């Protein structure tokens, strides 16, 4: 049974919100855990609006310290304080966020009733989070401020031995660890039972690459190779490539080109300039380069590892 | 012709937003000017949602530095920067806000392209803003942090002389200033024309008292006497009076009692605790003490000086 691994889009506007779109925030729902990826203004309202359990976030990843990626964090933390949160919260971001948060708690005369653990990100290709099922690795974006991407990689689990095989071949308990590692089983009378007949292979590990604000770059191409889902910003359509470069952002075609070179299974676009009202052209342009492209809209849920091509 | 003087409610939730309600922000529309009163998280989105002209705000009044009253300000200022605002902006608040804003501009690597002029509020009963038609005076609230209310008072305009009277009595130009001040006109042959016959009285000056977070207090009672509209927080229903006191907030009955003692013409309640979903009880409790009470809900527009009693 495949455990949950999906993204909820809370905001997909670049730089400034519009009457229809919030700025960047995503929720990663992995097994029974919720992670927050960027936390723009209004994120706590969006979490409530989409009926996500606001108290379940323990790890918040902030790509960089432009307002449209972190301004919702002070409000979320103040709300945690008022709601009496007592669990630690971990915040991963480039240096500076601690100062921004602490000055506000100080001036408002509040001392958070929970621990805030700041993890300052300084370099790429570092594993910054790990649990039994998942690792999170930093990637280096190309932007005007130090900016990180986050690569969420499911761990390869051990094989499971079929219960009926244990009974059928009378497999002793001490043999189980090596069979789980892939060894065949040899019966007391010397008969070899192939590993594949007595085990169930774990599902293929899935992966999600979150590449927030960045100009086109291949600096992290090797890290995202073969990812199930690549979120890559596409602030502009292709005709604005010069503006994109000037502002250290990307176009549809650039995001799609990177997806193609990396051989990812699906591309998710977001971070659209407020000048665009209608998104059809984003899909169209990107799909000419990389057909399996979808665009992020508020409230969308995208499952990681379900890669049917678009109709 | 009565010039515009009205309030738009952008948020009416206390402390934390809910799925239905933003935290405190109001727009005061006076003649052709827009003032912002408090600026909670999401205010820039609410301004857009209610189709108010976002670039027209030049004066922002922040009652106090709890997050639910100022957290939308950094985002609004970043947006002004990105939208290329060049007009000065004036921000009135208790000390501390400048530090909160400046640390964020510094860390995000941006220097605002417009001037931010901080007016630090330190005492009550001070006129902090004045133009040809309006004054704004501070009031002292009773809260856990230094907190100010704002009293918007229309100026008493001069009388206008009826055009037809000038012709009829051949009033010389040099007499006009004194007639506008209320003097009668004496014709060259000694006939006294009463002032009331030749002038139009200006409309009665209107006033709006914005009393944000506060426990029940009569400290500013004399300042709000006879106001056309009193906004007073009512975080709790009457049965939670003890909690209200403990948290330096007010109940429906307390707000209504103050309205009654001050002889205001209309009471507007807001800042409801997130525990309340249904507002009918707020109206009911307050009207038992002060019948002309209405409650603030997002998107409401309340005209100042139109005081028909509720049906």
pLDDT tens for residues A208-244? 999 999 999 999 999 999 999 999 999 999 999 999 9
B311 pLDDT more than 50: no
Mean pLDDT of A279-306: 97
Contact across the interface for B96 and A109, Cβ inside 8 Å: no
**Residue pLDDT, tens place only, B124-158:** 999 999 999 999 999 999 999 999 999 999 999 88
Residue A20 pLDDT grade (very low, low, confident, very high; cuts 50, 70, 90): confident
Q: Which residues on chain B are in Cβ contact (under 8 Å) with A19?
A: 45, 48-49, 51
- Whether B84 and chain A come into contact, CB under 8 Å, resolves to no
Least confidently predicted of A61-65, A292-296, B198-202, B237-241: B198-202
Q: B158: which 2 tokens?
A: 């001069």
Q: Given B17, B45, B99, which is nearest A44 (Cβ)?
A: B17
- pLDDT confidence of residue B43: 98
The SS3 of residue A193 is strand
Q: Is the pLDDT of residue B2 over 50?
A: yes
Task: Examine the pLDDT at A269 and tell me if it is beyond 90.
Answer: yes
Q: Tens digit of pLDDT for each residue in A152-187?
A: 999 998 898 999 999 999 999 999 999 998 999 999
Catalytic residue status for A68: yes
Q: What is the mean pLDDT of residues A279-293?
A: 97
Q: Can you tell me the distance from the alpha carbon of A57 to that of B67, in angstroms, rounded to the nearest whole number?
A: 20
User: What mean pLDDT do residues A108-123 have?
Assistant: 97
For residue B26, name the pLDDT band (cuts at 50, 70, 90).
Answer: very high
pLDDT reading at A193 higher than 50: yes
Find the helix or strand (DSSP H, E) in which A14 lies: none
ipTM for the whole predicted complex goes beyond 0.90: yes
B142 min Cα distance to partner chain A (Å): 15
For residue B45, give the nearest of A42, A66, A96 by CB distance: A42
Q: Is the pLDDT of residue A1 over 70?
A: no
Residue in chain B closest to A95 (alpha carbons) equals B107
Nearest by CB: A108 against B45, B67, B108: B67
What secondary structure, in 3-state letters, does A28-78 show?
EEECCEEEEEEECCCHHHHHHHCCCCHHHEEEEECCCCCHHHHCCHHHHHH
Please say if the pLDDT value at position B72 is more than 60. yes
> A242-251, B81-90, B171-180 — which is least confidently predicted?
B171-180
Which whole number is the average pLDDT over A41-70? 97
Residues A8-22, mean pLDDT to the nearest whole number: 94
Whole-prediction pTM value?
0.93
Mean of all residue pLDDT scores within chain A: 95
pLDDT of residue B196: 93
Alpha carbons B72 and B45: distance in angstroms, whole number:
9
Given pLDDT bands bounded at 50, 70 and 90, which one contains residue B86? very high
Cite the DSSP H helix spans in chain B: 43-49, 67-70, 73-82, 97-107, 163-169, 176-180, 195-198, 221-224, 241-246, 252-262, 280-289
Q: How confident is the model at residue B111 (pLDDT cuts 50, 70, 90)?
A: very high
Are B48 and A18 in contact (CB < 8 Å)?
yes
pLDDT at position B226 over 60:
yes
For chain A, list the domains and their CATH numbers: 5-157+202-303 (3.60.15.10), 160-200 (no CATH)
Residue A107, chain B, CB below 8 Å: the answer is yes
Indicate the burial class of A2 (C-beta count within 10 angstroms; 0-12, 13-18, 19 or more).
exposed
Least Cα distance to A37 among A56, A11, A75, A5 occurs for: A11
């Amino acid at each position: 049974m495949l455990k949950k691994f999906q993204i909820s889009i809370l905001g997909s506007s670049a730089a400034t919100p519009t009457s229809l779109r919030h700025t960047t925030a995503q929720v990663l729902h992995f097994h029974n855990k919720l992670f927050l990826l960027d936390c723009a203004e209004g994120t706590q309202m969006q979490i409530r609006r989409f009926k996500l359990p606001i108290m379940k976030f323990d790890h918040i990843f902030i790509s960089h310290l432009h307002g449209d990626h972190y301004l919702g964090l002070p409000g979320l933390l103040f709300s945690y304080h008022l709601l009496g949160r007592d669990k630690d919260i971990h915040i991963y971001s480039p240096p500076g966020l601690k100062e921004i948060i602490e000055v506000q708690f100080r001036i408002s005369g509040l001392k958070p009733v929970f621990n805030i653990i700041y993890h300052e990100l300084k370099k790429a290709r570092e594993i910054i989070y790990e649990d039994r099922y998942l690792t999170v690795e930093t990637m280096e974006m190309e932007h005007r401020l130090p900016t990180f991407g986050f690569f969420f990689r499911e761990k390869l689990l051990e094989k499971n031995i079929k219960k009926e095989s244990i009974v059928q071949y009378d497999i002793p308990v001490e043999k189980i660890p090596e069979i789980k590692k892939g060894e065949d089983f040899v019966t007391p009378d010397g008969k070899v039972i192939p590993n594949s007949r007595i085990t169930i292979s774990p599902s293929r590990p899935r992966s999600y690459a979150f590449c927030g604000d960045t100009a086109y770059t291949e600096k992290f191409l090797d890290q995202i190779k073969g990812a199930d889902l690549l979120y890559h910003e596409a602030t502009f359509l292709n005709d604005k490539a010069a503006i994109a470069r000037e502002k250290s952002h990307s176009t549809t075609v650039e995001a799609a080109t990177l997806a193609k070179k990396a051989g990812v299974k699906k591309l998710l676009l977001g971070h659209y300039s407020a000048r665009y009202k209608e998104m059809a052209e984003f899909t169209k342009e990107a799909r000419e380069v990389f057909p399996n492209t979808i665009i992020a809209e508020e409230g969308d849920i995208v499952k990681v590892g379900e890669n049917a091509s678009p109709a």
